């Protein structure tokens, strides 16, 4: 018996050191994690539709980042997402509001927008985009030192069969743009074009919603397109892609050609 206990202790210790997680199910059916690590395994289903790495719609990106942040920070809300009936709110804040949000430490260079993701009754997550990477705020209330690509976050979600749950969550996404010196906010539902300046905007074009006078003419054209509610969402998506993407379309300065 002592040998068995000793062997079990050694195995558990090894898991703790390696950062692995042990998932068990209690008598009441609730998921319980004995050990946790950076890549904690939060499976939401036995199987699920795979998320597309190329689907960088605002709604989809917000849902993926919310899930990824929860896993990285070992948040209980992740396991509860499959039973969630609440909507996902995406608040766009000026990057200089990080202290007001309780975030400490350095802000990633070139970051322009602070994103707050929130589901009432479950949890809240913060992140920003800089240099083609996503920087999630960790449990120490600081931005992660190393950014992560959207593809990596999708890989984690697919590994844990979160596709169906996150697709449903993405369908509830609602964006509230709270940027501006006067603190005025403009609220838009998940189908409105303000989302193109929200959580899922292509990292290569992050900050496109800013109105800086130093922007190049091409960027100004893209800003105007993203802000126009009459522009076809698919056209916007293609204009916000990296220039080397096969589907990329260069933003035009002629408003009549947007429609």
148-176 pLDDT, tens digit per residue, is: 999 999 999 999 999 999 999 999 999 88
Per the structure, how many domains does the chain have? 2
In this structure, the strands spanning 31-33 and 133-136 are unpaired
Residues 101 and 185 in one domain: yes
147 and 49 housed in the same domain: yes
What's residue 147's pLDDT?
93
Give the sheet arrangement for strand 133-136, strand by strand. 133-136, 123-130, 113-119, 89-94, 174-177, 186-189
At 103 the pLDDT is: 95
Same domain, 81 and 129: yes
The segment with the largest mean pLDDT, out of 36-50, 129-143, 182-196, is: 129-143
Show the domain range for 144: 42-206
pLDDT surpasses 90 at 50: yes
Predicted local distance difference test score (pLDDT) of residue 167: 94
- Mark whether 7 and 83 lie in a shared domain: no
């Amino acid at each position: 018996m002592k040998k068995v206990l000793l062997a079990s202790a050694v195995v558990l210790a090894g898991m703790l050191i390696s950062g692995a997680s042990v998932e068990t199910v209690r008598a009441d059916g609730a998921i319980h994690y004995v050990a946790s690590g950076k890549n904690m395994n939060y499976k939401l289903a036995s199987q699920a539709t795979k998320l597309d790495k190329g689907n960088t719609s605002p709604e989809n990106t917000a849902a993926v980042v919310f899930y990824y942040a929860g896993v990285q920070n070992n948040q209980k809300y992740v396991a509860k997402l499959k039973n969630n009936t609440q909507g996902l709110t995406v608040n766009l804040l000026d990057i200089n509001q990080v202290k007001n949000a309780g975030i400490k430490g350095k802000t990633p260079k070139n970051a322009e927008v602070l994103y707050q993701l929130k589901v009432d009754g479950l949890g809240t997550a913060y992140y920003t985009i800089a240099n083609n990477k996503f920087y999630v705020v960790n449990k120490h209330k600081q931005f992660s030192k190393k950014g992560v690509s959207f593809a990596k976050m999708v890989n984690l979600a697919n590994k844990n069969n979160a596709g169906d749950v996150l697709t449903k969550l993405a369908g509830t996404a609602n964006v509230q743009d709270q940027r501006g010196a006067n603190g005025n906010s403009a609220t838009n539902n998940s189908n409105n074009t303000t989302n193109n300046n929200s959580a899922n905007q292509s990292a290569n074009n992050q900050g496109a919603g800013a109105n800086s006078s130093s922007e190049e003419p091409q960027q100004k054209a893209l800003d105007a397109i993203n802000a126009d509610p009459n522009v076809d969402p698919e056209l916007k998506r293609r204009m916000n892609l990296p220039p080397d993407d096969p589907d990329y379309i260069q933003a035009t300065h002629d408003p009549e050609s947007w429609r």
